[in-house]
A and B are shown apart, each in its own frame.
Chain A
């Protein structure tokens, strides 16, 4: 069975520091994708970054990067130079390439940035 685990329910980080949000997954599929989304207190879901299981390079999008360790089945999100606006819930989700029925979200990490 597929499974996603985000082990950090909440984190506090000082503004301008880097932060790593953990995400581990379990799947027997060879082809899959890992997504990170941000959910501010206003409730909308904002796409941050995507990593495919066959991608050789770690994904990067501006201040966001993904530390993808396939053998360890982890896909941690790294936010560099955190900003007050980064305070939000962050969700990791796993998607199998050919079947949407196996989309699974993690329980999320609430990140709070201290000024």
Chain B
């Protein structure tokens, strides 16, 4: 089992460019999440998906869009990147209810720099 995989691992963008971060899990989990981690801080929830076809906003959704393509895949899109979106992005998945009492399994992260 690969667990949670994310692509790419690193990305540098110029202000105003767009890109999509990909995430896939092979654990048959219902719930998936996107977080960002800024230097010296904890993770902040951007968006989550409780099941295929549903998505909901987290704490910091502005500037992002998401798609739950199927049960395995959950993508995060930056339509017009800004320097404030420079961060490490983590995807996670969990069984059962989104935000419930189940362990979240995290991907290795994508380090994004916006110049």
Do A and B belong to a common assembly? yes
- Chain A contacts to B: CB under 8 angstroms: 4, 33, 35, 37, 43-45, 47, 50, 52, 91, 93, 95-108
Q: Which one of B31, B42, B97, B106 contacts A105 once the chains associate, using CB atoms below 8 Å?
A: B42
With A43-B88, A100-B50 as known contacts, state yes or no: A95 contacts B108, CB within 8 Å: no
Q: Which residues of B contact A107 (CB under 8 A)?
A: 40-42
Interface size bracket, B side? 20 to 34
Whether A52 pairs with B101 at a CB distance below 8 angstroms is yes
Whether B103 pairs with A44 at a CB distance below 8 angstroms is no
Interface contacts beyond A103-B45, A105-B44: sample of 15 additional A-B pairs, CB < 8 Å, sorted by A: A35-B103, A37-B106, A43-B88, A43-B108, A44-B106, A45-B104, A91-B43, A95-B99, A97-B100, A99-B98, A99-B99, A100-B45, A100-B98, A103-B58, A107-B42
Which 3 A-B residue pairs are closest in the complex by CB-CB distance? A100-B99, A105-B42, A100-B98
Chain A nearest CB from B94 CB (Å) reads 9
Whether A93 pairs with B98 at a CB distance below 8 angstroms is no
What residue of chain A has the Cβ atom nearest to residue B105's Cβ? A47
> Which of B42, B58, B105 has the most C-beta atoms of chain A within 10 angstroms of its own C-beta?
B42
Q: Which residues of A contact B98 (CB under 8 A)?
A: 99-100
Q: Is B74 interfacial (CB-CB < 8 Å)?
A: no
In whole angstroms, what is the CA distance A107 to B38 when docked? Answer: 10
Number of A-B contacts (CB under 8 A): 75
Chain B nearest CB from A108 CB (Å) reads 5
Q: Is B57 interfacial (CB-CB < 8 Å)?
A: yes
- Chain B contacts to A: CB under 8 angstroms: 31, 33, 40-45, 48, 50, 56-59, 88, 90, 92, 97-101, 103-106, 108-109
With A52-B101, A98-B100 as known contacts, state yes or no: A93 contacts B58, CB within 8 Å: no
In whole angstroms, what is the CA distance A47 to B31 when docked? Answer: 17
In whole angstroms, what is the CA distance A44 to B111 when docked? Answer: 12
Chain B nearest CB from A68 CB (Å) reads 14
